[in-house]
Amino acid sequence: AGLVGLGDFAPLPEFGTADVAACARALDGVAPRLAGVGVADAMCAFDDTVPDAALAPLRCAVESACLDVEAQAAGTSVAALLASAPADAVAVNAIAADERDASSVVAAGYRCIKLKVGAATRAEDVARVAALRRAIGPDIQLRLDANGAWSEGEAIAFLREIAAYAIELVEQPVAAGQLGAMRRVREAAGVPVAADEDVTGVEAARRVLEALAADVLIIKPAVVGGLRRAMEIVEMARAAGADVVVTSAMESGVGVAGALHVAAAARVVRACGLGTLELLADDLVSDALRVVDGAMVLPRGAGLGVTLDATALARYAIAPARVVRA
């Protein structure tokens, strides 16, 4: 009794999810059916009431809150509910725009850097990649994220040109939905390909794997509909010989904590995209998720291990809190 579970949703319409208003309306409708039931029954009630896949971020938030309560009641972490031997910390990547940024984050202990490409000219992006590699040296991983900016031919030409710079992987070189083109880029370019915008759920991930379109799946629990669905995709990917990376969807520390528990449960080896809280003006949790030497440490304590900051919550609330009873 008295346990409080946390979940948050930060919809990403570019991934096909509904917006905040739609998620809020759906939550009002389903909340009375979630009171007083366990996680499995709560999620069955949610799926019966809210079948729309576009509401995946809301589903993730509800499941997160349920798992948080269940783990607290059991005196264990959410990660330990998801898997028997979770990791204590997860490597995370930093994002750098230029060699000055890159040198700074390497000095802070990060071992993997992500560079956004595709918005500049090909020559400019090649020069940026070369400059970053020179700045960070040969031992730091360098990954690229094109966000679907290129055509198949552009992707192959660019990736061949920068092959000498030891690129760990390139995320979504062509637009989502072009799995045949993704496979051909993967086969021709000599750089591992990661699917991101194409991984919108369990079945979408299965299609990517069946098309041989990616070496790595980027898994956002909020986009795929929850922590357990994220774990299902991890298992599916590994069974198919693919690797995984877990990332946030620009949530507060509550949502990032959920993604961290997934990555820890899955014991993901590649650096995960969880270091996004620094991109926000503020956070809603009082216990900061720490990055030490390029790794995010799993919070101590039961459940998600994070606590809402009441002052921050009051500052950023756009409507009064509501209590919904069965």
User: Rounded CA gap, 124 and 129, in Å?
Assistant: 9
User: Rounded CA gap, 95 and 5, in Å?
Assistant: 31
In degrees and rounded to multiples of 5, residue 316 shows phi and psi of -105, -5
Strands 112-116 and 89-91: unpaired
Cα distances from 33 to residues 30, 36, 42, 83, 162, in angstroms, run: 6, 8, 7, 28, 54
User: Rounded CA gap, 245 and 171, in Å?
Assistant: 11
C-alpha dihedral, 32 to 38 to 44 to 48, nearest 10°: -10
User: Rounded CA gap, 175 and 173, in Å?
Assistant: 7
**Which two structure tokens, joined as six digits, stand for 254?**
């509550």
Q: Is 114 annotated in the active site?
A: no
Give me the catalytic one of 220, 228, 261, 270: 220
Give me the catalytic one of 45, 53, 103, 116: 116
Instruction: Show which residues are catalytic.
Output: 116, 220
